Structure 1
Amino acid sequence: MVNYQVVIAGGGPVGLWLAGELRRAGVTVAVVEPRTERDPRSRALTLHPRTLETFASRGVHEPYVKEGVPLPGGHFGVLDSRLDFRRLPSPFPHTLALPQERTEAHLEQQALALGADILRGHEVTGFTGGPHDIAVHITGPNGPRTLRAAYLAGCDGARSTVRAAAGIDFPGTPSTVLGWLGDVVLDEPPAAGGSWFGPTGTLMAVPMAGGLHRVVGLVPRDLTTTWPGDLTLEELRENAFAVAGTDFGMRDPIWLSRFGNATRLAAHYREGRVFLAGDAAHQHFPAGGVGMNVGIQDAANLGWKLAAVLNGWAPDALLDTYHAERHPVGVDLTESSRAQVALMTAFTTEGLSLRALFARLITDLPDLNDRLAAQVSSLSVAYPAAGAHPLTGTRAPDLPLEGTGLFALLRADGYLLLDLTGDTGHPLGRFTRPGLSVHSSGTPHPVPADWADVRAALIRPDGHVAWACGEDGAALTGSLTAALATTHLK
């Protein structure tokens, strides 16, 4: 029997990022992945701004930025008016087109370099829970064996074995729509990608690496629960011609697939020593390319909390906040996905008018564009606390500090106490304890309006504000002492 502190079921982007986060904090981890090799088919193509910020907070964003193609925005329900991400308050005000296979390759390389054990060709078959640890049963080329761990993380997709074994309900609604996609060569591609919508259906043609395009869409006959069989190149051609008036000279398919809009959300993200993240916790129609990104944010939230408890400087109760914080994000995700399905299947005259109205509103109301873009990109996610400073729970921006940016100071193994008093002799510098580092700086320049009065802030490893204070003197140090009493054991 091999011992680890955490075993992760699933070696996709979510499981790999979680593994990397745990290793950055010194936690021993094994990733159990049934595939012997990475899947060359890329279900996800998009990295969103908050994901890029998360990578930047660990200094690993450059490979993705170098290889990916920046795009100025994204779609909501394939409306004619696209969301403009250039207005977002982020160093990455864009989406990044990068096939999931390449994202996984980078994440796997990083996790291995950090010392994670990745057991390919193995899968979790179940587990036996105990009061102090958990026996994770796996099988592989040499038969069954058991890994013992303090915690098990199910990052093993919508058909999660871990979720089922833990007895966690996965309520929701069945599929009523069947979309389709094909990764193909286009001899006559649209000039710069494109999207079409009308009574005959919806279609997008997205350029990919290697001279490929992803052709994806819906036609009215797809509003069905009847499986029509596997997608063929001829059907894909017919669908494209019906919607766009051309098949773009498509040929040489690499991948043809159908997908549905079944939407489910785990009743809870934790059951004792078992946690769920990514598609194991939430299933939805792939609208706007958000699924993988939300899963990576699940892992960012869970990773530091597991590490803090395992490393002994945070209370066990911290682990309960994972469900409390991420389940509402899952609710928002499933609601947004359903809303976009309604827009993408609005093929009636009335539906087309609704789409036209919504598209005009996005164009005419910049605040609506910004709110939807912030939601899709996960920049608006916050974990507020009653009675606290308004910044508490919000994502901390990459504040321009003296000689550095905030993201460069964040660590997976502890909080950052940000002293903005400008006083090098301030008592804040003496707040030293495990799981805490201190950085002193003057007021950021330029300073975001909602940070103008902040004298000090406690930033969590995932980049969210745990505490902020606009007072000084004894009031400041007293407020910080009280905050640390709730976040640190020592």
Structure 2
Amino acid sequence: MASSHPSLGETVAAESPETLPSDTVLIIGGGPVGLLLATVLAFYGVKSVLLERNKTTTKWPKMDLTNARSMEIFRKLGLAEGLRERGVPSNIPYTVLVSSGLSREKAITQWLLPSVDEYRNQIRTQNDGTKPLEPYQRISQSIFEAWLKESCDANPLIDLRYGNKVEIVQSQGEDVKVTAVNSQTGKRVDFISRYVVGCDGSSSKVRTGLGIPLDGGPIPGYALLVHFKSKDLARLQKQGQFWHIFFVKDGGMGGAIIAQDEVDTWTVHLFLPLDADHESISSEEAVYSVLGGMGGRYEVKIDEILVRSTYRPNVAVSRSYSALNGRVFLAGDSAHQNIPTGGYGMNMGIADAYDLGWKLSAVINGHGKKGLLDSYELERRPVAALSVEHSKVHNDVHAALGKLLLPEAAVIDHDSKEGEALREKIDQHYQEHDGENKDVGIEMGFHYKSPINIPDDDDSVPAPVWTASRYIPTTWPGVRAPHVFLNDGTPIFDHFGKDFTLIEFPYTVDLGSKYIVDAAKENEVPLKHVVLPGEDNALKIWEKHLILIRPDGHVAWRSNDIQDPASAKRILNAIVGSQSGEVKEKIAFGVSGSGVISTQSEEFVLEKMGDLQK
């Protein structure tokens, strides 16, 4: 009897096209970015259909840190505590070790990153605007994705369709046609949608199908990843409890181990030259080789090998973030790829998802204009390029080991003056270059430059100075507004509305805030007006008496007063994208002398990405 199912690799005739309502977004890719975009859209009352080629969420560990800025986003969505419940407990420090091998009694050096509890205490006691509201959180992507999918499954505005592999994305009149193949039936299915977002990873079918090039490419070398279970804590934690250990080998950095939960789940990365044959290395031998460092094999009891793969890090940014006249967008790894050092990859994708999510929602809900969608690339692409560049800065800290070990790496384990001198040199190097997972200026100090942010009307006020290593609090338009606890102990962020928020620090005279409020009502722009009398500390940090906050917590406009209804109307028109629909400039990355991300030519992007590959 003939089977009714198609043979492997065979597809059958397409079903009738499914046309999505104009208020529904089609998302391609069910990783963290796609799932979060669906969550953000639903938060603003917008429906989505999500297509994912796999039948379920990832088994791969991938990212293992949700940074402070991402946790602020999850807090606004009401998801922060749910994520923390599934992550590493809040009392465990995030210690990073550099070791020549676990056969040695102690590591060469360490970075003592605080636990979530310690970080929270710093935030509470240092109420000067320099800290985030939320600490970071360690959680493996395999756990993160499964949790986020559960949340999406329970949301009536989100339609998840796993097992649908997208093959073609093309224009169809004013809409977009997406062709997918269902893995269960083998049938081709066409979807017609007004808006499509490609969250489908580094080999994005959406990006490649539309012919959008990447600037940049792979760096030399690759890694063999082994994800495994082991409860052999006495041997694994011989040099102390850790989050990461980087292992020195003859010639430089040989590999790393990551504690996914510090209980029984671990990931090893064995760094290999391009001509190495990883297939000749068993998963167990890869683990033993990494943990042994300079000392050769170091065996631990492995209970189970979970997954194994190879990867080659890329440093790349998509030439464009949108196509088909602003109907298709890219987010996450489809738009940018970086070296894992610093943990910027998925966290950039989270910020992409929130930025694009609130802007698409505003347009679909009627109060946002096309200029909002134009601003997505103008704002997010330079931030991605800056973060990609900085991931290589962190990677270069480890790459410098090769030179530090010269002329004789073997002395690193000797109980001699030469060995002691080499270990001290490596310790000093890592203590002087400790920005990995600490550079909050990269994570939350960037400045969005686009027409939906209104510059200060006082040209004498200098732009804020930007630095990678710290966040300098300011309400300069385009920058994330500073966190501060108010007099009653509540965070100012928790007073923001779901959409736009006007913060007012009242003065003895009328500041004209009613003009903004009235203009918002007239234009049906959702706005929450928050008046904060007697908040001297917050006013000092926030710098102005009137500050207009976007849904993502970035500043759209600020002033000490507003004089008339016409000015208020111009401000409201700008922040909802009414005046920026024709903006075509391309913003690349770089930091100008003032510290503000600067506009550069496409030639500069190509040159810079070429430098990063070296």
TM-score with structure 2 setting the length: 0.70
Structure 1 residue 164, shift from structure 2 partner: 1.0
User: Map of 1:101-180 to 2, 5 A cutoff?
Assistant: 101-114=142-155, 115-140=157-182, 141-142=184-185, 143-180=187-224
Structure 2 residue 280 is the aligned partner of structure 1 residue 195 = no
The residue aligned with 1:447 is 537
For the Cα contact (< 8 Å) 1:33–1:123, is it kept in 2?
A: yes
Q: 1:31 to 1:345 in 2, by over 3 A?
A: same
For the Cα contact (< 8 Å) 1:57–1:410, is it kept in 2?
A: no
For the Cα contact (< 8 Å) 1:18–1:299, is it kept in 2?
A: yes
Structure 2 residue 575 is the aligned partner of structure 1 residue 487 = yes
For the Cα contact (< 8 Å) 1:127–1:136, is it kept in 2?
A: yes
**Distance (Å, rounded) in 2 between the aligned partners of 1:74 and 1:303:** 35
For the Cα contact (< 8 Å) 1:379–1:395, is it kept in 2?
A: yes
- Percentage of pairs with the same residue: 25
Structure 2 residue 494 is the aligned partner of structure 1 residue 408 = yes
Q: 1:28 aligns with which of 41, 47, 53?
A: 47
Q: 2:400 aligns with which of 346, 353, 362?
A: 346
For the Cα contact (< 8 Å) 1:154–1:160, is it kept in 2?
A: yes
**Distance (Å, rounded) in 2 between the aligned partners of 1:446 and 1:180:** 54
Q: 1:449 to 1:392 in 2, by over 3 A?
A: same
For the Cα contact (< 8 Å) 1:205–1:213, is it kept in 2?
A: no
* Unmatched runs of 5 consecutive residues or more in structure 1: 364-368
Q: CA RMSD in A?
A: 3.3
For the Cα contact (< 8 Å) 1:57–1:411, is it kept in 2?
A: no
User: Map of 1:24-423 to 2, 5 A cutoff?
Assistant: 24-69=43-88, 70=90, 80=109, 82=111, 84=113, 86=119, 89-93=131-135, 95-114=136-155, 115-140=157-182, 141-142=184-185, 143-184=187-228, 185-187=230-232, 188-190=235-237, 191-193=240-242, 195-200=245-250, 201-209=253-261, 211-218=263-270, 222-229=272-279, 232-243=283-294, 247=298, 249-251=300-302, 252-272=304-324, 273-350=327-404, 358-362=429-433, 373-375=439-441, 378-384=443-449, 387-388=455-456, 391-401=476-486, 404-410=490-496, 414-421=499-506
Give the match's secondary structure for 2:59: coil
> Can you list the C-alpha shifts for 1:102-121, whole angstroms capped at 9, x where unaligned?
21123223323332000011
396-405 or 38-47, which deviates more: 396-405
The residue aligned with 1:366 is none
| Paired AA for residue 249 in structure 1 | V
Give the match's secondary structure for 1:211: coil
**Distance (Å, rounded) in 2 between the aligned partners of 1:204 and 1:300:** 32
Give the match's secondary structure for 2:355: helix
| Paired AA for residue 3 in structure 1 | L
187-196 or 226-235, which deviates more: 226-235
**Distance (Å, rounded) in 2 between the aligned partners of 1:382 and 1:47:** 21
Size of the aligned set, in residue pairs, is 478
* Unmatched runs of 5 consecutive residues or more in structure 2: 1-17, 100-107, 123-129, 407-421, 458-462, 464-475, 579-614
For the Cα contact (< 8 Å) 1:196–1:243, is it kept in 2?
A: no
311-320 or 69-78, which deviates more: 69-78
> Which structure has the larger Rg?
2
**Distance (Å, rounded) in 1 between the aligned partners of 2:33 and 2:256:** 26
Q: 1:39 to 1:362 in 2, by over 3 A?
A: closer
**Distance (Å, rounded) in 2 between the aligned partners of 1:202 and 1:13:** 29
**Distance (Å, rounded) in 2 between the aligned partners of 1:127 and 1:328:** 26
Q: 1:447 to 1:259 in 2, by over 3 A?
A: farther
**Distance (Å, rounded) in 2 between the aligned partners of 1:3 and 1:308:** 18
TM-score with structure 1 setting the length: 0.86
**Distance (Å, rounded) in 1 between the aligned partners of 2:196 and 2:340:** 27
Structure 1 residue 83, shift from structure 2 partner: 7.4
**Distance (Å, rounded) in 1 between the aligned partners of 2:189 and 2:163:** 13
| Paired AA for residue 309 in structure 2 | S
| Paired AA for residue 47 in structure 1 | T
**Distance (Å, rounded) in 2 between the aligned partners of 1:489 and 1:169:** 27
| Paired AA for residue 361 in structure 2 | A
Structure 2 residue 568 is the aligned partner of structure 1 residue 461 = no
